[in-house]
Each structure stands twice: as structure tokens, then as C-alpha cells.
Structure 1
Amino acid sequence: MITAALRQFGANLVDLLRTRIELATIELQEGTHRLFGYLAWAAAAAVLGLFALALAVLFVLVLFWDTHRLEAVGGMTLLFALGGLFAVMKLRAGLAAREPFLPATLGELRKDAAALKGEQSDGF
């Protein structure tokens, strides 16, 4: 009788672990697909943006070369410095506000731990 109960407990534990691993796998796959999509768009935006930026700088420098060349170079430098500062601030804010890794899996594991401890949970 104890052997059967232990066997059932072991089977339930393995089944619980299997479902949690499956959930983690699905979340990792979704995160990976999302990440590669973001990286592809980021690479395209970076390449196109750099070409546009280089042409804009060239246009400004050629336009003001004879009259205000130092002001044009200084203005472009200030513009890039401010843009870089803005990008760093946005990056820091985005990293601070990101969601935790595998949130659904962690939530289910918390519920499982609470259930094993005998605590009341929303799911029961």
C-alpha cells in the first residue's frame, strides 16, 4: 500500500515536472522568435539609418563648407552627442522595465510550491 502511494506520488511529481518543462520550453521558443524578429528589424533600421545619417551629414557639410564649416561640424557633433545620450537613456529605461524571464513558468512553480506546503492558492 505504501509502495503504491509512493509510486503514485512519484508519477504525479514527474508529470508535474514534465508540464512545467513543457511550459518553459514554449516560453523560450516564443521569446527566441520574438528576439530574432527584433534583431532583424534592428539590423535593417541600423543600416538604413546609418546611410541616411551619413548622407544628411554630408549634405549639411557641403551646404555650409564655404561659409560656416566649423559651426556645421560642431552642430553635427552636438546633434550626435544628444542622440547618443537619448539612446542610452531609453536603453536604461527599457532594461529597468523589462518583464522577468519565463514569467508563466515561475508563476506556476510558485503555485506548486504553495500547494506542496499546504497553503491556499487562487488556483485551488
Structure 2
Amino acid sequence: MALTDSIARFGASLIESLHTRLELASLEIEEEFGRYANYFILSLIGLFCGIVTVLLLILLILIIFWDNHRELALSALITIFALASVGIFFYLKTAIKNKPRLLAASLGELQNDIAVLRQQSKTPDDSSDRSAPKNRGNREHRDSDVDNEGF
């Protein structure tokens, strides 16, 4: 009966661990979709600013040959849109370059689980204590008990 209980507990623990890892993976995927949506929106804004810059530059060239101060206003607009476009694209370049790896936290947790399981497989099992002699009068057993309780 004890073997079936421990197998059932192991199975429940395994399913619970998988459930937790899948929840973490789904959260990471949602974050990644949000990040890509943000990149997409900023890319569209940057593209719009770039197109406006080109259109205003063309318009500036046409206006240069007309009357006096229209050039200054149009030059200022071109500069503002050009700087916005360049700034957005540089931000996107660094954000994409420095983004976290997809499912990095899930993979890290699985690595931690593997390390814990390997460590547990190297340590002696509690069943080995059951087979040990129960003689508490023996000095060796008293010393080892004191050492184990003192960490």
C-alpha cells in the first residue's frame, strides 16, 4: 500500500509541476506577443514619420523657389519628423537586440527542476534509515544524530 501511495504522490507532484511550468510558459508567450505588438506599433509610427519626412522634403524643395519664410517652417517640421523617425528606429533596434529569450524563465525553472532531481538522486533515500539498526544506546548513532540536528 505504501508503494502505491508514493507512486500516486509522485504522479500528483509531477502533474502539479508540469501545470506550473505550462502556466509560466503561457505567461511568457503572452508577454512576448505584447512585446511584438509594441514593436509593430512603434515600427508603424516610425514608418509614418519617415514617409512624412520624405513628403515634406519634396514639398520643401518645391517651396524653396517660392516666397520668403515658408522654408523655415517646413524645415522645422522635416527636422522634427526625421528626428522622431530616427529615434524610434534606434530604440526598436536596441529593444529587439536586448529582448529576453522566448520562454527563458520556463527553461530556467526546468533546469532548476533537473538539478534538484539529480541532487535528490545522489542523496541517500529515507528508506535507508529504516534499514539501519535502531540501537540508540550506541555512541556512533548519538553523535550522528547530534551532527544532523545541528545542520
TM-score tier by shorter-chain length is: 0.5 to 0.7
**Which one is further off, 10-19 or 39-48?**
39-48
User: Is 2:46 the partner of 1:45?
Assistant: yes
Q: Give the distance between the partners of 1:45 and 1:95, measured in 2 at CA.
A: 15
The higher-RCO structure (CA 8 Å, 6+ apart) is: 1
Q: Tell me the residue number matched to 1:18.
A: 19
TM-score of the superposed pair, with normalisation by structure 2: 0.52
Question: Aligned AA for 1:46?
Answer: L
Question: Aligned AA for 1:23?
Answer: L
TM-score of the superposed pair, with normalisation by structure 1: 0.62
Within-5 A mapping of 1:70-89: none
Q: Tell me the residue number matched to 1:2.
A: 3
Residues 4-39 of structure 1 show CA distances to partners (whole Å, capped at 9, x for unaligned) of 111110100000000010011111111111211221
Question: Aligned AA for 2:7?
Answer: L
Aligned Cα RMSD in Å?
2.9
Q: Tell me the residue number matched to 1:68.
A: none
Identify if the C-alpha distance between structure 1 residues 97 and 48 changes in structure 2 by more than 3 Å, giving closer, same or farther: closer
Q: Tell me the residue number matched to 2:134.
A: none
- Structure 1: 5+ residue stretches without partners: 65-86, 120-124
Q: Give the distance between the partners of 1:52 and 1:11, measured in 2 at CA.
A: 61
- What percentage of residue pairs aligned between the two structures are identical? 31
Question: Aligned AA for 1:47?
Answer: F
Tell me the CA shift for residue 54 of structure 1.
2.8
Within-5 A mapping of 1:89-108: 91=93, 97-108=98-109
User: Is 2:111 the partner of 1:113?
Assistant: no
- Bigger Cα Rg: 2
Question: Aligned AA for 2:16?
Answer: D
- Structure 2: 5+ residue stretches without partners: 66-88, 121-151
Q: Tell me the residue number matched to 1:81.
A: none
Contact 2:28 2:102 in 1 (8 A): no
Q: Tell me the residue number matched to 2:140.
A: none
Question: Aligned AA for 2:46?
Answer: A
Q: Give the distance between the partners of 1:57 and 1:9, measured in 2 at CA.
A: 71
Tell me the CA shift for residue 106 of structure 1.
1.2
